Structure 1
Amino acid sequence: MTTRRDFLLGLGAAGVATAVPAALGATDGHRLLTATDVHVKDYPTVAAIEWIGRELERATAGRLRLRMYHSGQLGRESEAIDMARFGAIDITRVYSGALNNAFPLTQVLSLPYVFDSVAHLRRALDGPVGAQVLRGFGARDLVGLAIYDCGARCFYNARKPIVGPADLHGLKFRVPSSDIFMRMIRMLGGNPTPLAYGEVFSALQTHLIDGAENNLRSFHSSRQFEAARYWSQSEHSYAPDVLLMSRRSFDSLRADDRSLLLDLARRSVAVMRALWDESEAQARTALVAAGVRMNECDLPAFRKAVQPLLSDYHRVPALEALYRDIRSLA
C-alpha cells in the first residue's frame, strides 16, 4: 500500500515540490490525476470516484486517467484538503464537517436537525443550495465538483444506550475538527474529543473515548462496532461529503476536459447514491447479526437541547438564507 510518505518522496524524487500534474503527467496531453479518500476500497464514495476515472479514461481514449488512493493512504482529510489546495494532489473526497471552519457555507449542511430525512437532504443538494455551497470553495483554491450525501449521523458508544440528551452526560465523544460538532456535544452534556477518523477505532479500544458519531455505513466498514456495541438512532446531522479538486489542477486542463470532468462528477452522485442505499441496508443487517444493540432516541428532546446552537447560526445572514431555502424543501 502506498503511504503519504512514499507519495511525497516520489514527488521529491521527480523534482516537483508542489504539483502532481508535472510529476505524474506526460507529454502529448496525457495526464494521470490523483484522488484520495480515507474510506476503504469498497466504500460508495471510493467506488464513485473510481467510476469517474473509468469514464474519464474511456471518453478521452486513455489520454486522461485517474489513480485512486483509498483507505487514508495519503493521510488524514485535513492533510488532503491542504494537499489539494496547493496542488500536491488533484482530487479528494472530504467530510463536510472537516470543512466547516475554513468554508463557512458548509456549516449549514452540518448543523443539527436542519434536514428531516435523506430525501430532504438530496432535494437540497441537487438544487440551488448545493450549487451555492460548491461555488464557495473557489475562495480558497479549490473547485467543488460534487456533494455526496452519506446518511444520518447517529451516536454509538461502548457504555450504554443513548435515548435522550441526559444519557450523554460525562461521556467522551469523538467529533471531527468542527466547532459545530464540539458545541453540540457540550450542549448535550458530553465531552467532545476532536480526532481524525482513522484514530477512532484505537481510541475506542483504549478507552480514550467512550463513543463517537457517524453514519451507519462508516460505523460498519471501519469495524468500530467491535469496540462500541451500542448504536442510538439520534439522526442529529445529515452532514454530507464533498468532492473537491485543486484549482491549480483544474485550470491546467483543457476547457473541454474541464467540462467533461464536471459532468462526470455530477453524474457520479447517482452512482454513489445507488451504492450507498444498497450497502447501508447490508451494513444494518450485518450489525444486527453481529449483536450490536440498536435503539431509537427521543428526537424532540435532542432538537430542543441543540436549539440554542441553531439560534446562533441563524444570526449569520448567508447561513440563514440557505437554512430557509433548505427548510422550504422539507
Structure 2
Amino acid sequence: MKKILLVCIILTAFMSCKKDGKTQTLYLAHTLPQTHPVHKGIVEFKKALYEKSGGTMDVKIFPDGQLGSEREVLELLQIGSVAITKVSAATLSNFVPEYHVLGIPYLFRDKDHQFEVLEGEVGKSILEKGSKFWLRGLGYYDAGSRSFYTSTKPIRTPDDLKGLKIRVMNNQMAINMVNALGGSATPMAYGELYTAIQQGVVDGAENNPPSFVSSNHYEVSKYYTLDQHSSVPDVLLIGTKYWDKLTDEQKQWVQEAADESSQAQKQFWNESVEESMAIAKKAGVEIIIPEKSLFQEKSKSVLEAFLKEHPEMTDLINKIKNQ
C-alpha cells in the first residue's frame, strides 16, 4: 500500500496523460524485461499509435516492474494514475471473474483455436466485462503454453508427478490443476524459484519456454515436459478513467494500434520460443513430448470443480469449446 501511495504521488505530478504542446503521452507500465516478446509487442503499440495519431498521441513505457506488481499497476489504472498496462489473464481474474475461464486446463484445442476465440466475439466480450471494474481490455498477447520442468526426475505421465512439489502462481486454478494431476502445488514468489529448485525446496515448476530460459531455470531443471496444460494469455488494458476522456477518433487509433501490436507480438513470441528451446537443448535439458491426452483426462476434475462453484460460466465455456 505504501508503494502504491508513493507511485501515485509521483505520477500525479505528471498525470497518466501528459499534454506537451500537441502531444498527449500515455503512461504504460508492466512487469516484464525489455527483452521479452510481449514488451516488443508493446513497443509496436507505441509506434503504431504515434503514427496513426500523426504524432498527437505517444506512449511512455515503464517496464521491469518499475511501478509495481501486476496487481498494483491494475489498481493504479483504476484510480487513473496510469493509463495502460499489460497483465496476465490469471492476475486479471482477481478483478474480472470471466478471465478465470481462460486458465482452465486444455480449454483450447490448439493455438489456432485459442486466437480464433480470443479475437472473435467471445474474446471481445470478455475484454468488455472489465469496464465495470474501470479496466477496459484492448486485446490479447500470446503468452504461450505452460509446461512442467523438474530437477529430480522426468515427467512422462501424470503418475510421475506424485510426491513432487511443483511451484505454481498464487492462483487457485493453477493450484487445483497441479493437485489434480497428483503433484503437490506450492505457491511461491517467482523471484525465489531459482534458489528453491537449486536447494530442493521444490522439485520443479511450470511455465512457457521463454520464461523457462530467461529466468535461467534451465540451469537447475534438466527435464522439460511439453504437456502444455494451460494457455493463459496476457491482456493489454486501458483504464476507463483515461479511455472515457478520449474522442471517438482517438479511441479508434488506440484500438487499431492495439490490434496491430497483437499480431506483431505473435511473431515475436514464436521467434522467442524457437530461440529458447535451442538454448535449453544446447544446455543439456531433456525435452519430453508426452501423451497429452493422459494429462487432459486427469485434469478434467478442475473444470468440474470450477463449474460447480461458478455455474454462471457454463455458457461461456460451452461457447469456447464449440467454436
Q: TM-score, normalised by structure 2?
A: 0.90
Cα contact 1:177–1:195 (8 A) shared by 2: yes
- CA gap of 1:299–1:187, structure 2 versus 1, over 3 A, is same
CA deviation profile, 1:179-205 (whole Å, cap 9, x unmatched): 111111111222222234444334334
Q: Which of 4, 9, 12 is the aligned partner of 2:9?
A: 12
CA deviation profile, 1:151-184 (whole Å, cap 9, x unmatched): 2210112221111222222222222222111111
- The residue number in structure 1 matching 2:306 is 313
Q: Which of 312, 319, 323 is the aligned partner of 2:317?
A: 323
CA deviation profile, 1:232-258 (whole Å, cap 9, x unmatched): 111111111111111112223333212
- Corresponding position: 1:107 with 2:100: yes
- CA gap of 1:195–1:87, structure 2 versus 1, over 3 A, is farther
Q: Percent identity?
A: 31
Amino acid at match of 1:241: D
Give me the whole-angstrom Cα distance separating, in 2, the residues matched to 1:233 and 1:118. 14
Q: Which runs of 5+ in 1 are unaligned?
A: none
CA deviation profile, 1:128-165 (whole Å, cap 9, x unmatched): 12111111111211010101122221011222111122
Amino acid at match of 2:322: S
- CA gap of 1:223–1:174, structure 2 versus 1, over 3 A, is same
Q: Which runs of 5+ in 2 are unaligned?
A: none
Map 1:133-282 onto structure 2 (within 5 A): 133-282=126-275
Amino acid at match of 1:12: I
Q: Which of 66, 74, 85 is the aligned partner of 1:73?
A: 66
Q: C-alpha displacement at 1:207, in angstroms?
A: 3.6
Q: Secondary structure at the match of 1:65?
A: strand
Q: C-alpha displacement at 1:289, in angstroms?
A: 1.0
Cα contact 2:165–2:185 (8 A) shared by 1: yes
Runs of 4+ in 1 over 4 A off after TM superposition: 7-11
- The residue number in structure 2 matching 1:35 is 28
Amino acid at match of 1:325: K
Paired residues in the alignment total 321
Q: Secondary structure at the match of 1:25?
A: strand
- The residue number in structure 2 matching 1:301 is 294
More divergent stretch after superposition (310-319 vs 290-299): 310-319
Q: C-alpha displacement at 1:46, in angstroms?
A: 0.6
What RMSD, in angstroms, separates the aligned Cα atoms of the two structures? 2.3
Give me the whole-angstrom Cα distance separating, in 1, the residues matched to 2:46 and 2:259. 13
Give me the whole-angstrom Cα distance separating, in 1, the residues matched to 2:133 and 2:283. 44
- CA gap of 1:13–1:131, structure 2 versus 1, over 3 A, is closer
Q: TM-score, normalised by structure 1?
A: 0.89
- CA gap of 1:320–1:39, structure 2 versus 1, over 3 A, is same
- CA gap of 1:93–1:198, structure 2 versus 1, over 3 A, is farther
Q: Secondary structure at the match of 1:258?
A: helix
Cα contact 1:143–1:244 (8 A) shared by 2: yes
Give me the whole-angstrom Cα distance separating, in 2, the residues matched to 1:8 and 1:96. 25
- CA gap of 1:112–1:51, structure 2 versus 1, over 3 A, is same
- Corresponding position: 1:131 with 2:131: no
Q: C-alpha displacement at 1:279, in angstroms?
A: 1.8
Give me the whole-angstrom Cα distance separating, in 2, the residues matched to 1:25 and 1:11. 15
Q: C-alpha displacement at 1:126, in angstroms?
A: 1.5
Cα contact 2:7–2:67 (8 A) shared by 1: no
- CA gap of 1:56–1:189, structure 2 versus 1, over 3 A, is same
More divergent stretch after superposition (150-159 vs 197-206): 197-206
Cα contact 1:217–1:279 (8 A) shared by 2: yes
